[in-house]
Amino acid sequence: MANQQKKKLTPVQQEYKELATKREPARPVLQNCIRAFIAGGLICLIGQGIQDMFVHWAGFKKEDAGNPTVAVLILISVILTCFGVYDKIAQWAGAGSAVPVTGFANTMASAALDHRSEGLVLGVGGKMFKLSGPVIVFGVVAAFFIGILHWLFNPGAGGGS
């Protein structure tokens, strides 16, 4: 019951709500925060290690090693999603595994795997962006408006000739 103001609860519903509230287990907020911190930190640590490998062994400059690092992290998370491992990590870590780019890749891969029986176009292609599509749209729109604000307030800082 999302809107309690419009609908009055009957006495039985109020009694049930009170009983359900009493029996509801307390959420381990501190434990969840620590798990998210550990998982997100480990993902970032692995990403830093991959970036350092690109710099030291592949001869990339530090500024140029970011893009292949993100690609490798995405690949790792998609592979782990395909084997069902990332879901177990996400269940333990919560938001710590959902916030980095690996969580975004997991969302897309999970949707694609769930709908592969519907075909490549309507299933995988159509449903893959069901959850991640709004994130992409928000990112593009936010970047557009931030770019406009940057252009308005820093007219000489723009690129070009």
Position 1 in a domain? no
Position 54 in a domain? yes
Statement: residue 40 has pLDDT above 50: yes
Position 52 in a domain? yes
What digits encode the pLDDT tens for the residues 125-137?
777 777 667 777 8
CA 74 – CA 146 distance, rounded (Å)? 26
State residue 7's pLDDT score: 77
Position 18 in a domain? no
The number of folded domains in the chain is 1
Position 59 in a domain? yes
Q: Report which listed range, 5-19, 114-128, 137-151, is most confident.
A: 137-151
CA 127 – CA 133 distance, rounded (Å)? 9
Query: What pLDDT band is residue 32 in, cutting at 50, 70 and 90?
Result: very high
Single pTM value for the model: 0.68
Q: Which of 22-26, 51-55, 145-149 has the lowest mean pLDDT?
A: 22-26
For 113, what's the count of Cα atoms within 13 Å in the CB-facing half-sphere? Answer: 14
Query: Which residue range(s) make up the domain with 100?
Result: 36-153
Q: Which residues touch 105 (CB under 8 Å, ≥6 apart)? A: 73, 74, 77, 78, 81
Query: What pLDDT band is residue 75 in, cutting at 50, 70 and 90?
Result: very high
Give the CA radius of gyration of the chain. Answer: 22
